[in-house]
Structure formats: C-alpha cells, structure tokens
Amino acid sequence: MFDTLARVMYRGRRLVLILAGAFLVFAGVWGTGAFGALSDGGFEDPDSESFRADVELSQALGRSDADVVALYSSVTLTVDDPEFAAAVTSTLASLPTDEVASVAGFFSTGAPQFVSEDRHSTYAVVRLTGTDDEIRGDQLDVVEPALDAPGLTEQIGGIAAVNRDINEQVGEDIARAEMLSLPILFVLLIIIFGGLVAASMPLIIGGFAVLGAFTVIRLLTLFTDVSVFAINIVIFLGLGLAIDYGLFVVSRFREELRAGRDVPAALRRTMQTAGRTVAVSGITVAVSLAGLALFPQNFLRSMGFGGIAAVLVAMVAALTVLPALLAVIGHRIDALSVRPLLRRLTPRRRSTEPGPGAHVGAWYRIARSVMRRPVLYAAGIVVILLLLGTPFLRASFGGIDARVLPEGTPSRVVSEALESDFGGAADPAVTLAVTVAGSIEDPGTQQELAAYVGQVGELAGVETAELSDSDGSTAEVAVFLSGDALSSSSREIVDDIRALSPPADGEVLVGGETAALVDLLDSIGSTLPLMALIVAVATFVLLFLAFGSVVLPVKAILMNVLSLGATFGALVLIFQDGHLSGLLGFTSTGTIEATQPILVLAIAFGLSMDYEVFLLSRVREQYDLTGDNTEAVATGLQRTGGIITSAALLLVVVIGAFATSGITFIKLIGVAMVIAIIVDATIVRTLLVPATMRLLGRANWWAPGPLRRVYERLGIREDGPAEPAETRELVRT
C-alpha cells in the first residue's frame, strides 16, 4: 500500500502539488469562514433535567436569564439621590424595544437586592429578545451604547457579555499563540535540520493541515453546531502534528538519500517506514479523539470533531503533499544549509538524524544503561509517576463562570461586584420549573405550591426560595443559595431539592447553574467508562495490527495511564490549589472545570501513542532484521531518540503558546499538554520503555497463534523486506 502510494506521489508529483495549491486557495477563502459560523458555550447536556427545566420555563414563561447586567455607580451620589435615579431611569426607558424584552432594577421594582451595601451602586437586569446566543451577542452590541447613563460610571456584565468577552479573548489568544510559536518553530526547525529548505517542509504541511481542518470545520457547521473553542484544538493539533509528521518523514527521506539511494527509491523506502508510522499514528490519535463524540456536551463533541479533522488532514498532507514536495526537491532537500554556521556556534553539536553508519550515540548508551538495570528503572519510575498522580485523588470538579476571564475584564468585574457588594448573583443559582395538572391560579394549587416553596426555603444552605413567575399550569421558583453556586455543598442542595415530593399532581424539574453542573458531572461519569473502553480496545487493535503483538499494546496503554495520572496530579496542584497562579496569570476557583480532564485525556492519550508508534516502529524494524530484542531497543532509541525529543520540543512550543491564553480552561489544556508531552517524551519513552522491553524480552512480540495468523493477513506492515542497505550495522559496540 505505502509502496504504491509512494510510486503514485512520485509520478504525479506536479499534479498533486497543483491540486494542493488550489485546495489551499479554497481553504484560505472558504474554510476560514468557519470563524463566523461557530457557536458559543455548549457545556450542557441537552437530555439533562436542568436543560429540560430551562427549556420548559423558556417556552411557558419566556426567558428569565440575566442576558445583560448594567452596573451603575457613583462616588458622590447614592441611589437615594434624585440625580442618580433620574439618570438610570431615563437611560433604561430609552433602550430599543426591538432588542430588549424586559428590564428590571431597583427603581422599577424597589427590591433591595438591586442596591449595594454602601448604596452607591445599583444594577439593572436587561433581558434581550434574541432566540440564541449569536443573536443576543449582536443585540448586545446595539444595546450597550444605549446603557451609558450620564454622570454615572457604567459597566456591562451578564451572560451575553461574558460570552462576548470569552469569544474576543479566544481570538486574541489565537493571534498571540501564532505570533509566539511560528518564529520559534522555524528557528528550531533550522537548528534541527541544519538547512532552510528542509526546515520549511514541516511548516508547509502545518499550514496545509490548519487550513484544511478549518475547511472541514466549516463543512461540519452546515450540519451541526460546532463550538468556537474547537478553533484552539484545530490550530495546536493541526500545526503540532503536521510538524511532527513532517519531521518524521523528512528525517527518514534524508537518511535514505544518505544511504546512497536515488530519489524514487528513497521516497519509496520513506513511505514504507515513516509513512506507515504516520498513518498508524494518525489513525490512533484520531480514534482517541473520537471518544469525545460519545459525550452529549457540544463543547466536548466539537473538540473531538476539530481534533479529528486536524489530525486526519495533517496525516493525509504528510502522506500526499509532502512526498510530492520531496519528489520535486529531491537532493536539494539539503540546500541552503546553515550547518557551517551552526558548527561554528555549537562545535560539538551532533545531528538528530543518525544515519546508517552512525557511531554509538547518547541515546544508545542511555538505552543500554537502562537495560542493564531494568528492574530498578522500571520500579523507580512507576513509583515516581504514581506519587506524582496522587494529588488527583482529591480533585474537585466545578463549572465555568466569569472567573475564567482575565482580571479586569468588564463582565468579570461586574460578576465579582454582584458577589461582593450585592450579596449574590443577578440570577438565582437554582430555578425550579413546576408544572401542575390544573391552573396555578387554583386556590388549592396555590396552597400546595406555597407549601412546597416553603419546604425548599427551609433546606440547609438555601438563603431564599420564592415564586418568581407563573402562567397557566407552569410556575418558576427562584432559589438563592448562601454559598458559591458551584461548590460541592451547593450541589448537595440540588440533590436535596430533587428528593422532595412535588406538589400534588405536579412535576418539578430542577434547573439553573448549580443543577447544570450536577447534571454535567453525572453525564461525564456515566459516559467516561464507555469512552475509555472503546478507545482502549481500538488502540489495542491498531497497535496489534501495526506490530503483531498483544503485549506491546497492553504495555503502551498502561504506561499512558501512568503518564496521564502524573499530568492530572500536576493539574490539581496548579489549577485547583492555585500554585503558580501568579506566574501563569489565572484565578484559582478551588476546582477544575469538569470537561477539561476529559479533553486532556483524549488529546494526551493520542499524542502519547504518537511517540510510542514512532519508537516501536523503528524497534520492530530492527528486531525483524536481527532477532535481538535488546539490540533492537537500543538501536531503535538511538535512531528515534533525537527525533522524538525534537518533535516533542516543537509540539511543546505550539501547544505551550496556548498556555498564555487569557481563558483559564484553555490555559489548563496548554499547561496539561506541555506536562504530558515532557513526561512522555523523556521519562516514559527514554527510560520506562527500554526497561520494560528488556524485562519482557522476546515476549514483547508474542501473540497467540490465531491472532498471529490475523496479523499475517491484515497487519499494517511494510510493503516489502528491508533493502540491503538497511542491513548495515547501525551502531558500533
């Protein structure tokens, strides 16, 4: 298969590049339109009780969310002064009625919760007429200038403002990440390859992967909602993996040229080996990300869609466009060399691409050293990784609020002011949708409803519970809690409310911010085992088909679990406990947003398998030639250690740029992936893999007879035996 693909790419190289160029133009024009077609939010489960409660209330009574919160304050005036009242009243009365459904505030209701403790501030809740987040975002742009009250300081918050600020921050983060990472990537690639032409190849494939993935995302938006946050994963996975794959393929191509092969033969051998590795890796990473599609939350599904698109486009580009480029460039891949300059600057520098006649290198010596004491290394590393993972045992999961935004963001300032100066949020933490068989106006029903509301109000942790609206057979009960709406104690109150008996012949659906988090955690808890099972089984099958062993896939999965455990432990220390919060620039809430570990699990698991496949492919290649497991492991690490380290460094640069994000949960993903990559590319690949493979010996390659026959028929193997040049001694002992 890969031999045939190499022949096709070589013969049709110019046509392939013409078609690729045309696609890039199309992707740059149409694909980038995905930015304007993406949706906000998507953290809720559409089948959950909390979501159904919100839908029920919206359909029966109209929306009651605080879309916009206008906070008015004065240093000299109080709400009791006529000038203050006149400024706010006239401003709110002049709001455009086409955009505004209702306005509530102190001067229209007299409710004391609208006044700050020092009486120098008040706020108004503005509900917009829009039917979805995108429309309400556009309406906010119209309404915001009209909310400016003369003589008063005005700040805008609320759900619509928070969503807008998050979207704007995401756009700024992407631009900053690209400005930070691309120049560093190019410099590192020049250092790694020693030449401008070779260094440009992975970046070309990276650009192709990102624009191609944008096109896929734009296509998906025609059929389903895709979250705006999918853009982040498209960029860092598309660019990162494309550069990784480009590094693997270009390194192998140069190696084959140096072995004395002509361009067609070098390209064929490259595709048989590195091309095969890229295909297995890409499919494995995509399968890992496909597990996200099992979750009902649009945020997770969108991240899965974006990740799969980025990975598969990067893989296809590395298997088609890159071979065509290499076929055209040929021996000029080493053109515009900067090695003389690098040798003058770093005279002892060694190539990260050991050729067939390479001397014993550092990676070979490391592998040999580890394999002389495999029990010590394996046991020590397992213990260290387990200890690093122990903080995750006390992980506390929460939701998303305005604190994910940088300090000083207006919508966050308003949210914090409501908590500190007004004693609570503009919206109740819990809302109850109560439906009865008859009419709410029936005296008997009113008595039953009043008794039920009284029961809710008497629950521990409930500050107030009141009937806020009703119509026909539906009533809304607003429940304000005394603590943080996202805390574990508040979540217990939701369970207590759901345990109460509803009014006679009635039904109660519990919704609101706190209930949504409870349902989110339940949804994740019920779906995660299925995701883990499917991903583990699919990964096992793919690795078995790649290497013909049932031992290596199991070992790879177990090592990934250890590596991920250490990563999650670090996340608890950093984001839950707040260590490094000042350095990284975020506000710790004492919890970790519940969807992020799932996302990190899928991405990190896939990327770990990426390096596992690359290393084991070279080990298997050498084992097939020599039959010596120990020598194959040492030689495989010598051949791949520098490239894996270089690939990991490049990926850290790409993903690490997102650790500078102003959105806390995007920053969490960036930090988590940097930790996971470093742990995996150093401790696991360099030390734990050689130790465990030495302990297992020939058992590494074992499979029962029936499965061995399956591998012989269906295995993803090289198209032909290694050519004679491959039999040269790769290292000298």
For residues 267 and 273, give the distance between their C-alpha atoms in angstroms, rounded to a whole number. 10
CA distances, 199 to each of 192, 235, 244, 281, 638 (Å): 8, 19, 12, 22, 22
Mean pLDDT of 177-183: 84
Q: Between residues 64 and 151, which one has the greater pLDDT?
A: 151
Tokens describing residue 148: 């400016």
CA distances, 52 to each of 47, 125, 440, 452, 499 (Å): 7, 24, 20, 20, 18
Tokens describing residue 375: 């029990």
pLDDT at 337 over 80: no
Q: Which of 175-179, 340-344, 600-604 has the highest mean pLDDT?
A: 600-604
Question: Are the C-beta atoms of residues 275 and 5 closer than 8 Å to each other?
Answer: yes
For residues 329 and 315, give the distance between their C-alpha atoms in angstroms, rounded to a whole number. 20
Place 425 in a pLDDT band, splitting at 50, 70 and 90.
low
Topology at the third CATH level for domain 428-511? Alpha-Beta Plaits (3.30.70)
Mean pLDDT of 347-376: 72
Say whether 464 sits in a helix, a strand or coil.
strand
Mean pLDDT of 171-184: 84
- Domains in the chain: boundaries: 2-40+164-399+519-727, 67-157, 428-511
pLDDT at 357 over 50: no
Say whether 718 sits in a helix, a strand or coil.
coil
pLDDT at 408 over 50: yes
pLDDT tens across 210-246, in order?
999 999 999 999 988 888 888 888 888 888 888 889 8
Among 338-342, 461-465, 507-511, the least confident range:
338-342
The one-letter amino acid code at 585 reads: G
pLDDT tens across 547-576, in order?
889 999 999 999 999 999 999 999 999 999
Predicted pLDDT of residue 346: 60
Q: Between residues 399 and 212, which one has the greater pLDDT?
A: 212
CA distances, 454 to each of 447, 460, 464 (Å): 11, 12, 9
pLDDT at 423 over 80: no
Question: Are the C-beta atoms of residues 418 and 61 closer than 8 Å to each other?
Answer: no
Place 721 in a pLDDT band, splitting at 50, 70 and 90.
very low
May I ask the CATH class of domain 67-157? Answer: alpha beta
Average pLDDT, the chain: 87
Question: Are the C-beta atoms of residues 522 and 447 closer than 8 Å to each other?
Answer: no
pLDDT at 33 over 90: no
Question: What does DSSP say about strands 474-481 and 462-471: parallel, antiparallel, or unpaired?
Answer: antiparallel
**Domain 2-40+164-399+519-727: CATH architecture, name and number where available:** Up-down Bundle (1.20)
Place 323 in a pLDDT band, splitting at 50, 70 and 90.
very high
pLDDT at 358 over 50: no
> Helices 298-319 and 276-290: crossing angle, nearest 10°?
170
For residues 380 and 131, give the distance between their C-alpha atoms in angstroms, rounded to a whole number. 58
Tokens describing residue 506: 């009635």
pLDDT at 347 over 70: no
Rg value, the chain, Cα? 30
Question: What does DSSP say about strands 68-73 and 430-436: parallel, antiparallel, or unpaired?
Answer: unpaired
For residues 640 and 607, give the distance between their C-alpha atoms in angstroms, rounded to a whole number. 16
Closest C-alpha among 178, 183, 186 to residue 202:
186
Give the Cα-Cα-Cα angle 93, 94, 97 (nearest 5 degrees). Answer: 90
> Helices 596-626 and 629-656: crossing angle, nearest 10°?
150
Which helix H or strand E contains 479, and what residues bound it? strand 474-481
pLDDT tens across 640-664, in order?
888 888 888 888 888 888 888 888 9
pLDDT tens across 268-314, in order?
999 998 898 899 888 988 988 999 989 998 888 999 999 999 999 99
pLDDT tens across 661-707, in order?
888 988 998 899 999 999 988 899 889 999 999 999 989 989 998 88
Question: What does DSSP say about strands 506-511 and 430-436: parallel, antiparallel, or unpaired?
Answer: antiparallel
pLDDT at 728 over 70: no
**What's the order of all strands across the beta sheet hosting 100-105?**
100-105, 121-128, 68-73, 153-157
For residues 91 and 89, give the distance between their C-alpha atoms in angstroms, rounded to a whole number. 5
Question: Residue 439 CB: number of other CB atoms within 10 A?
Answer: 12
pLDDT at 199 over 50: yes
Predicted pLDDT of residue 49: 93
Predicted pLDDT of residue 718: 55
Mean pLDDT of 536-543: 88
pLDDT tens across 607-623, in order?
888 788 888 888 888 88
Beta strands in 397-493 (DSSP E): 397-398, 430-436, 462-471, 474-481
pLDDT at 112 over 70: yes
pLDDT at 361 over 70: yes
pLDDT at 723 over 70: no
Mean pLDDT of 437-464: 88
Predicted pLDDT of residue 41: 67
Predicted pLDDT of residue 352: 46
Asked if 2-40+164-399+519-727 and 428-511 have one fold, the answer is no
Question: Residue 407 CB: number of other CB atoms within 10 A?
Answer: 12
